[in-house]
Amino acid sequence: MPALTHETQLLDPAVLARISDLDLVARTVVDGFLAGLHKSPNFGVSTDFAEHRPYSPGDDVRRVDWKLYARTDRYHVKEFEAETNASVSVLLDVSRSMSYGSGTVRKLDYARILAASLLYFSQRQRDRVGVSTFDDRVREHVPPATRHLPEALHTLARAAATRPGDVPAALAALAGNYRRRGIMVLVSDCYVEPDALVRALHQVAAAGSEVVVMHVLDPSELDFPFEASASFQDMEGDEALPVVPPVMRERYRTMIAEHTAALRRLLGQAGMDYFLFDTRRPLDAALHEYLSVRERLARIR
């Protein structure tokens, strides 16, 4: 995999979140990411050749088939099998806790841009794309198809985090919508017991789909930097808990570290990929992680 370089670093998520046009944001993220990959000497996915297509301005010249050019005097680029045959579905958690943000970026803002960028990138890879949003039940479902990107982006744009969530129940309800094998990307703050999440993902991926979990948290949820004593509201319910942050900080950090470690371990044991993101992290990092999964799948396909 090419390493992330200065050229692939994109706008701060706080800047992206202020742009209302989700299609424009996704294109900004993906085009910048691909520009960085094109500059890498390791660019490319090792897959089986599928077909040629005419060269278009902006295509990587290293994909030009020069032998074919010598015979035809026309420029063509090589397409590869991994770019033509995948169904990619994003499962976006829109439960109430996703509305939290300690700064200018809420988790839902970050997650929606992340989901849009993954779908836009996947369609650029000639994948079929779809999306499902859920809280305690399925809110919207767009099945993966070659022409469903606009509908998927509209679904993401109107998603609202207003209701409590029940990730296992929602994923179980989604299981009937995914009967074909593909790549499923869960984007969530993962406030669920790790073993329950793994069981639920096994249900929705029963057709043999590859599963990627992108765990999105606010920096304050990781660091617990608060100082003043206050009542902390449960965003998934009505309970308020009085807390003295300096007294609780180390215990809290230990608990969140144990939670993320358990997710990583159990998902890994189940053959599922896990990536943790805080909402300060540039979106190209998520695409880089996703591409690493695609490369691995291409090698074992």
Same domain, 99 and 192: yes
184-200 pLDDT, tens digit each: 999 999 999 999 999 99
Q: For residue 102, what are the CA distances in angstroms to 28, 31, 107, 155, 234?
A: 25, 29, 9, 25, 15
Rounded CA separation 70/51 (Å): 17
Same domain, 71 and 92: no
Residue 162 within a domain: yes
Same domain, 67 and 188: no
Domain end marker among 29, 62, 84: 84
Same domain, 62 and 133: no
Residue 146 within a domain: yes
Domain end marker among 84, 110, 136: 84
Same domain, 160 and 50: no
- In the predicted model, what is the mean pLDDT of residues 82-89? 71
219-244 pLDDT, tens digit each: 999 999 999 998 888 878 778 889 99
Same domain, 89 and 65: no
CB 114 within 8 A of CB 214: yes
Rounded CA separation 174/154 (Å): 20
Range of the domain at 68: 45-84
Residues 6+ apart with CB under 8 A from 81: 47, 48, 49, 50, 298, 301
Residue type, 199: R
pTM of the entire predicted model: 0.81
Name the domain count of the chain: 2
Same domain, 73 and 195: no
Same domain, 155 and 79: no
125-150 pLDDT, tens digit each: 889 999 999 999 999 999 999 999 99
Nearest CA among 20, 163, 12 for reference residue 99: 163
- pLDDT tier for residue 1 given thresholds of 50, 70 and 90: very low
- In the predicted model, what is the mean pLDDT of residues 48-71? 72
- In the predicted model, what is the mean pLDDT of residues 96-106? 93
Residues 6+ apart with CB under 8 A from 200: 167, 168, 171, 172, 192
Rounded CA separation 62/76 (Å): 11
Same domain, 77 and 198: no
Same domain, 285 and 141: yes
Residue 40 within a domain: no
Residue 35 within a domain: no
